Structure 1
Amino acid sequence: MTAPLGRAPLSIGELTDEQYGQVIRPDDAEYETARAVYAGDVDRRPAVILRPRTADQVARVVRLARETGLTLAVRSGGHSPAGHGVCEGGVVLDLANMKALDIDVEARTAWAETGLTAGEYTEAAAAHGLATGFGDGTQVGVGGITLGGGIGYLSRKHGMTIDDLLAAEIVTADGELLQVDEHNHPDLFWAIRGGGGNFGVVTRFKFRLHELDGVYGGMLILPVTPEIIETFIAAAEAAPDELSTIVNVWTAPPFPFVPAEYHGKPILLAMMCYAGPAEEGEKVIGRFRAIAPPLADMVQAIPYPGMFPPADPMEHPISVSHNLFVDRVDRATAETILDRVSTSNAMLAGAQMRVLGGAMARVPSDATAFAHRQSKIMVLLSAVYADPAEADQHAAWLDEFMTAIRQSDSNAYVNFIMDVGHDQVREAVYPGATGERLAQIKAKYDPTNVFRSNHNIVPATS
């Protein structure tokens, strides 16, 4: 493997486990599994995969990438829709071997290493009747979801993941380990709360924990019409902050708990999570049950980890998706959603809607690098298919769908977008003053853009 002109060559044979924790080369048995990410259409072959066990080893990997000039991809859980956790011909820094978790029950805080998944953290915290809000999947790495913001089942009640981030330890582009919080490197602390992996490799996070003995939640499936969609979203907007919903209008998979006559046809599948007393949650969920006779109703009092269905670690779907915010889901929008979902011939196609607001909207928009606090509803449009040759067909369907429902909010959530250009990142993800401030901080901590395998923030020029 040769390095770019003027940089030191990379000699893979000289890299040792003692230096880097674990060295995985292209001829090693575990290489094929180790290079795979969640996105099934990402097929990149890095020169080497390094799995450090300590912050010092992380720093050594960063210095290696900087000195050789090779692309550095940082992987926490590997769930980036754009496949940013792996690169072609470069160095992958895989945090999978860094999973230490230190929970202080009395202080209600936790120091978590970045190789942990959201599921591992959530299960450990739940054993103490505590929780930090992440997203809605078990295998997502805490690193990626936190750095992008973190919108999940507790966002309306307790805010985003970054709102519970108290401090972090981060290796910067020069290989230095910094502890950042509101008093130490406050500019960098601001940037990593929503700015993604642009500023370094976070090795540990310090999170706030909330008391949560359980939730009233689970899956609620209804037949779908435009009126049902509109009514359901309106009820979610009117609900107390304790309730967060993820509403999917999908073509129904052959679930055994869905009547067979609905398989392959649109349904409304909602994940409901009431983070409060079960008796109150039952009353709130009753408003949704009354919208239409449920096809399936699995909402009940459960431990919080029960909100996260088991995931298949070998699942690598091929998909296309678009993420956007909308101001409202009125009857016309609902009609468009149902019509567009009905016209797709993908294996699974749909629109996912998350009503925002609550605690996450009460944080000032400039308090963190997540600039979309006042956005009303987040929408993820997607199509999952089996044949890569169909990519253009499904992408065209998706583009038309997005154009048809776009309203005044032109922004997007960084954790849900696929590969986009720099201009789109600046305009939709980090608009205006947020993007300008991030570019200045990037120039300070990573002026040569070592951390560029991401939705990249280009360093500001003087």
Structure 2
Amino acid sequence: MTAPLGRTPMAIGELTDEQYGQVIGPGDAEYEAACTLYAGDIDRRPAVILRPGNAEQVARVVALARESGLRLAVRSGGHSPAGHGVCEGGIVLDLAGMKALEIDVEARTAWAETGITAGEYTEAAARHGLATGFGDGTLVGVGGITLGGGIGYLARKHGMAIDDLLAAEIVTADGELLLVDEDHHPDLFWAIRGGGGNFGVATRFKFRLHELDGVYGGMLVLPVTPAILEAFIAEAEAAPEELSTIVNVWTAPPFPFVPKEYHGKPIILAMMCYAGPEAAGEEVIGRFRAIAPPLADMVKAMPYTGMFPPGDPLEHPISVARNMFVDRVDRATAETILERVTASTAMVAGAQLRVLGGALARVPSDATAFAHRQSRIMAHLSAIYADPAEADLHEKWVEEFTAAIRQSDSGAYVNFIMDVGQDQMREAVYPGATWDRLARVKAMYDPANLFRSNHNVPPATTCTAP
């Protein structure tokens, strides 16, 4: 492998493991797997993939990208819906070689390298009866989900992942390793809590841990009508903060626990997580069970880790999706959701609804770069399909679905969006003063926009203190 790398005379074969960590180039046995992301429709071929083992090697990779002029993509778990974890012809900085985790049980804190997955972290913390809330999947990288916010099963009880982020170590565009927290580089600490990977490579995070011996949770499957859906969301909004829900209104896949007569028809497939005593959880979940006779009921007392079924590393769906917030799911909205889901010809189509509020909403909207603290319900509309030739058909479906249920909240959650234009980023993801402040911080720490393989916030043209 002697292809030149960017503007420098250095060849891939001259990049050593000692300098950069594991070096993977085209033709290496691991190259194909290392290029593959969760999203099945992303097919990009970087010039080289580098897996550093420590922050010093991360800094060298950043310097290589800066000096070569090649595009740099940073990968934690590879679950970016927009495919930002890989780039065409550039350098991928893959954090998979950095998974160290140090748990201080007495202080209830943990230092985690950012290549560790949410599942690996959660399993390790659970052995001490502790937890930090991330999302709802085991294979997602802690680095990516945290930088974007982190809305998961503990969001209403303890807030987002960024609300438990106490400090971070960041390699900036000039190769400097910074410790950032409320007292050190507070502007940067504000920005990385929701602003994504715009400001550097996060190598380690310090998290707060919460006592959590177990939860009352699992999957609850119900038939669905507009009245049932409206009632289900109303109960989720009225529930104690200990309960977080993920309500999927889907065309039912042929799951063995779903009666055959419902396969291919809309159902409610809800993930319920009550982070409190079993007896109280059973009482709360009973209100949902009373809405309609469940088609399947797997809700029970379990370890928190039981909320996370093993992820399939070979799963790479092709999908279209839109993310948005809505103010309410009233009868008319519920009717529209069911009409649109039924109209789709995709293999699996639907709306995922997450009732927010609780601890997430008690943090001031300007305290972090996540600007949607007062949003009430997050809706993620998606269609999974097999034939790439059908992309336009399903794209039209999801666009029309989004327009049909649009209400007054025009926001979107950065971790769940596909590629969008800068105007939409400013209007929906980082509205108003949030965008302006992020752009100023960007100008301070990455004025040349080296870190642009992300939902990008370009640096402000004039830099004043954030």
Q: Normalised by the shorter chain, which TM-score bucket?
A: over 0.9
1:192 shift after superposition: 0.2
Residue range with higher mean Cα deviation, 73-82 or 420-429: 420-429
In 2, distance between residues paired with 1:425 and 1:140? 23
In 1, distance between residues paired with 2:9 and 2:350? 47
| 1:227-246 matches, cutoff 5 A | 227-246=227-246
TM-score, L = length of structure 2? 0.98
Deviation digits for residues 321-365 of structure 1, max 9, x if unmatched? Answer: 000000000000000000000010101000000000000000000
1:8 shift after superposition: 2.8
Match of 2:105 in 1: 105
Q: CA RMSD in A?
A: 0.7
Match of 2:362 in 1: 362
2:148·2:415 contact (CA, 8 Å) conserved in 1? yes
| 1:41-440 matches, cutoff 5 A | 41-440=41-440
In 1, distance between residues paired with 2:15 and 2:4? 15
The letter for the 1-side match of 2:120 is E
Q: Secondary structure at the match of 1:268?
A: strand
1:90 shift after superposition: 0.1
1:3 shift after superposition: 5.9
1:13 shift after superposition: 1.6
Deviation digits for residues 167-223 of structure 1, max 9, x if unmatched? Answer: 000000000000000000000000000000000000000000000000000000000
In 2, distance between residues paired with 1:15 and 1:243? 50
The count of residues paired between Structure 1 and Structure 2 equals: 460
Deviation digits for residues 417-458 of structure 1, max 9, x if unmatched? Answer: 001111111111001000000000000000000000000000
In 2, distance between residues paired with 1:326 and 1:10? 51
1:11 shift after superposition: 1.7
2:5·2:47 contact (CA, 8 Å) conserved in 1? no
The letter for the 1-side match of 2:153 is Y
Distance 1:346 1:10, change over 3 A: farther
2:5·2:11 contact (CA, 8 Å) conserved in 1? no
1:9 shift after superposition: 4.4
Deviation digits for residues 377-423 of structure 1, max 9, x if unmatched? Answer: 00000000001110000000000000000000001000000011111
1:10 shift after superposition: 4.6
1:2 shift after superposition: 5.1
In 1, distance between residues paired with 2:461 and 2:385? 42
Q: Secondary structure at the match of 1:196?
A: coil
Match of 1:445 in 2: 445
Q: Secondary structure at the match of 2:258?
A: coil
1:245 shift after superposition: 0.2
2:323·2:379 contact (CA, 8 Å) conserved in 1? yes
Deviation digits for residues 252-274 of structure 1, max 9, x if unmatched? Answer: 01111111110111100100000
Q: Secondary structure at the match of 2:8?
A: coil
Runs of 4+ aligned residues of structure 1 deviating over 3 Å after TM superposition are 1-4
The letter for the 1-side match of 2:420 is V
Distance 1:330 1:9, change over 3 A: farther
2:55·2:177 contact (CA, 8 Å) conserved in 1? yes
2:73·2:92 contact (CA, 8 Å) conserved in 1? yes
Q: Secondary structure at the match of 2:139?
A: coil
1:37 shift after superposition: 0.4
Distance 1:216 1:410, change over 3 A: same
Residue range with higher mean Cα deviation, 307-316 or 440-449: 307-316
In 2, distance between residues paired with 1:58 and 1:425? 28
Q: Secondary structure at the match of 2:456?
A: coil
TM-score, L = length of structure 1? 0.99
In 2, distance between residues paired with 1:370 and 1:192? 9
Deviation digits for residues 23-82 of structure 1, max 9, x if unmatched? Answer: 001010110001100000000000000000010000000000000111100000000000
The letter for the 2-side match of 1:354 is R
In 1, distance between residues paired with 2:67 and 2:12? 14
Q: Secondary structure at the match of 2:272?
A: strand
In 2, distance between residues paired with 1:461 and 1:74? 25
In 1, distance between residues paired with 2:260 and 2:157? 36
In 1, distance between residues paired with 2:168 and 2:24? 28
Distance 1:225 1:29, change over 3 A: same
Query: Structure 2: which 5+ residue stretches go unaligned?
Result: none
Distance 1:67 1:309, change over 3 A: same
Q: Secondary structure at the match of 1:197?
A: coil
Deviation digits for residues 70-109 of structure 1, max 9, x if unmatched? Answer: 1100000000000000000000000001000000000000
The letter for the 1-side match of 2:96 is A
In 2, distance between residues paired with 1:351 and 1:2? 46
2:5·2:12 contact (CA, 8 Å) conserved in 1? no
The letter for the 2-side match of 1:223 is P
